[in-house]
């Protein structure tokens, strides 16, 4: 484990570009593997999670290559013709790789073993095992419904209509991906909207995806088996990665930072809306479309923040950004109250308890509740800093507390920076660049 102390080093300025969106990168590789022909992907996130998806798809017959200019290409095998993988599929730290690939395997006549690191091996897989079993697949999970587990696909699988019991884009996507090779119509009913990259990108690969709004719920359907045509994808910058810099520039006095090419899909931009509600100075410059997704450059200047009560309905559109929002809250004037965040307890770590502990060690006032945190901010005063933060193999705890370190008196020590490479390999280099 490599510990690192993130210390205050002055304002963040200039322009930076964050890496490609993680959710979109996973899907571009998966859909490329299902198309017949060659898909090209510009701006793919080269994080460990996405590379794990690429390796698993290669084990099932796809060819993934990187050209000298950084463009990736995927030679697909086609829907229905994924090959039997020889060894286990090592998913590393990645819940998205695991749950979406379980969906793909579920409707193919193959059997795959899924393994992962200590964090992933604690995460619940029952949420995808339940619907995929109803479609005909069989599962042998570890006790508690976790990895390592074996998925035995069923070809042909049985179509179903599934109402999501948790707001989860991974569960939605797993069922829809199983539906691609299932004869008949597979429908997911989504009571609360979650990120819609699967729906958008399937259409780009030539799949008809219908979305109907009935009684305030979305009914999303695919009719299989589908043929998928290859596509040229451009991956926009990841709003979840941009969020660390948006908070850093908001809380470090004197900052004026331009973050280029940030994806602003309305199912992902909740963090920027909440920061603005708290008084953050964020402008969207040159709004445009990249790869079928809304994108803009974000100009972020330091501004005094005020605590708010965060509307729980906004949670799905910023589900990965709460750790860094908690850092902003710790620097705001007054109290910030969050609720309805039970899902944070089953991410790469229990993010409510991990962030409560990390912020307390750094001198913030935090009360942990069942479904959220109550944070009383410092009114812009730097956090004292001091102790060593435990990241629990969670990249977003590491990066959030690195941001806290930039706005502290003595710095914040992160016990291990390795997890950062799962989603944002050049994070520390970009911090250095922006604060040079
Ligand atoms: C993701 C969905 C979310 C998110 C994860 C990526 C996706 O997970 O937290 O980082 O790409 O579909 P849930 O579906 O568990 O909410």
Q: By alpha-carbon position, which residue is closest to atom 5 of ligand 1?
A: 96
Question: Any binding-site annotation on 22?
Answer: yes
Domain count, the chain: 2
- Residue 196 and residue 86 in one domain: yes
- Residue 254 and residue 335 in one domain: yes
Determine the atom of ligand 1 nearest the C-alpha atom of 173. 12
The pLDDT value recorded for residue 238 is: 98
- Residue 261 and residue 284 in one domain: yes
pLDDT > 70: what percent of the chain? 100
Last residue of a domain, which of 170, 195, 221?
221
Asked if pLDDT for residue 251 goes beyond 90, the answer is: yes
State how far Cα 165 lies from the chain centre: 20
Q: DSSP labels for 334-365?
A: SEEE--S-GGGGGSSS-HHHHHHHHHHHTT-E
Residue-wise pLDDT for 364-414, tens only, equals 999 999 999 999 999 999 999 988 999 999 999 999 999 999 999 999 999
Partnered with residue 184 across adjacent β-strands are 224
Question: Any binding-site annotation on 27?
Answer: yes
Last residue of a domain, which of 166, 194, 221?
221
- Residue 330 and residue 311 in one domain: yes
Q: Is residue 281 part of a domain?
A: yes
- Residue 40 and residue 14 in one domain: no
Q: Is residue 331 part of a domain?
A: yes
The pLDDT value recorded for residue 154 is: 98
CATH number at residue 264: 3.65.10.10
The pLDDT value recorded for residue 91 is: 98
Quick check: 267 and 316 in contact, CB under 8 A?
Answer: yes
The mean pLDDT value for 276-285 works out to: 98
Question: Any binding-site annotation on 23?
Answer: yes
pLDDT > 90: what percent of the chain? 98
CA–centroid distance, residue 385 to ligand 1 (Å) = 31
Asked if pLDDT for residue 291 goes beyond 90, the answer is: no
Return the best residue to mutate from 95, 103, 192, 238 for the ligand 1 pocket (most ligand atoms within 8 A of CB): 95
CA–centroid distance, residue 383 to ligand 1 (Å) = 30
Q: How confident is the model at residue 436 (pLDDT cuts 50, 70, 90)?
A: confident
- Residue 247 and residue 321 in one domain: yes
Question: Any binding-site annotation on 347?
Answer: yes
- Residue 13 and residue 48 in one domain: no
How many residues are listed for the chain in this entry? 436
The pLDDT value recorded for residue 1 is: 85
Asked if pLDDT for residue 328 goes beyond 90, the answer is: yes
Residue-wise pLDDT for 60-79, tens only, equals 999 999 999 999 999 999 99
Q: List the domain range (segments joined by +) for residue 48.
A: 22-221
- Residue 170 and residue 300 in one domain: no
CA–centroid distance, residue 94 to ligand 1 (Å) = 10
Q: How confident is the model at residue 30 (pLDDT cuts 50, 70, 90)?
A: very high
Neighbour tally for 13: CB within 10 Å: 18
Q: Is residue 232 part of a domain?
A: no
Quick check: 73 and 31 in contact, CB under 8 A?
Answer: no
Kindly list the catalytic residues: 320
Asked if pLDDT for residue 434 goes beyond 90, the answer is: yes
Mean residue pLDDT of the chain comes to 98
CA–centroid distance, residue 419 to ligand 1 (Å) = 17
Q: How confident is the model at residue 40 (pLDDT cuts 50, 70, 90)?
A: very high
The pTM of the whole model exceeds 0.95: yes
Q: Is residue 110 part of a domain?
A: yes
């Amino acid at each position: 484990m490599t510990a690192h102390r993130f210390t205050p080093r002055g304002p963040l300025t200039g322009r930076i570009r964050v890496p490609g969106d993680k959710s979109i990168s996973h899907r571009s590789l998966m859909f490329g593997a299902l198309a017949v022909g060659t898909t090209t992907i510009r701006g793919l996130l080269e994080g460990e999670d996405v590379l794990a998806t690429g390796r698993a798809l290669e084990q099932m017959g796809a060819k993934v290559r990187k050209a000298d200019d950084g463009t990736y290409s995927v030679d697909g095998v086609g829907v229905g013709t994924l090959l039997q993988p020889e060894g286990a599929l090592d998913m590393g730290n990645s819940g998205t790789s695991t749950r979406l690939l379980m969906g793909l395997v579920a409707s193919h006549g193959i059997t795959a073993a899924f393994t992962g690191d200590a964090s992933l091996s604690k995460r619940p897989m029952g949420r995808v095992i339940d619907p995929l079993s109803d479609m005909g697949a069989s599962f042998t999970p570890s006790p508690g419904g976790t990895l390592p587990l074996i998925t035995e696909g069923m070809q042909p699988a049985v179509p179903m209509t599934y109402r999501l019991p948790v707001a989860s884009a991974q569960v939605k996507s797993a069922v829809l991906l199983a539906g691609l090779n299932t004869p008949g119509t597979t429908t997911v009913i989504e009571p609360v909207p979650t990120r819609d990259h699967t729906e958008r990108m399937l259409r780009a690969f030539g799949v008809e995806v219908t979305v109907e709004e009935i009684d305030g719920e979305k009914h999303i359907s695919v009719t299989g088996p589908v043929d998928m045509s290859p596509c040229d994808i451009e991956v926009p910058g990841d709003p979840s990665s941009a969020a660390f810099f948006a908070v850093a520039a908001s809380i470090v006095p004197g900052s004026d930072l331009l973050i280029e090419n940030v994806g602003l899909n309305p199912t992902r931009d909740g963090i920027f809306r909440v920061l603005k509600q708290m008084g953050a100075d964020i402008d969207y410059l040159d709004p445009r479309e990249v790869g079928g997704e809304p994108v803009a450059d974000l100009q972020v200047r330091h501004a005094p923040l005020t605590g708010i009560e965060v509307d729980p309905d906004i949670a799905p559109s910023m589900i990965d950004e709460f750790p860094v929002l908690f850092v902003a809250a710790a620097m705001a004037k007054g109290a910030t109250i969050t609720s309805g965040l039970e899902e944070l307890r089953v991410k790469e770590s229990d993010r409510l308890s991990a962030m409560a502990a990390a912020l307390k060690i750094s001198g913030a006032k935090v009360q942990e509740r069942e479904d959220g945190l109550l944070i009383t901010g410092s009114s812009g005063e730097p956090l004292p800093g001091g102790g060593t933060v435990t990241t629990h193999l969670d990249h977003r705890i590491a990066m959030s507390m690195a941001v806290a370190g930039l706005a502290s008196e003595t710095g914040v020590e992160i016990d291990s920076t390795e997890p950062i490479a799962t989603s944002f390999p050049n994070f520390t280099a970009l911090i250095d660049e922006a604060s040079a």
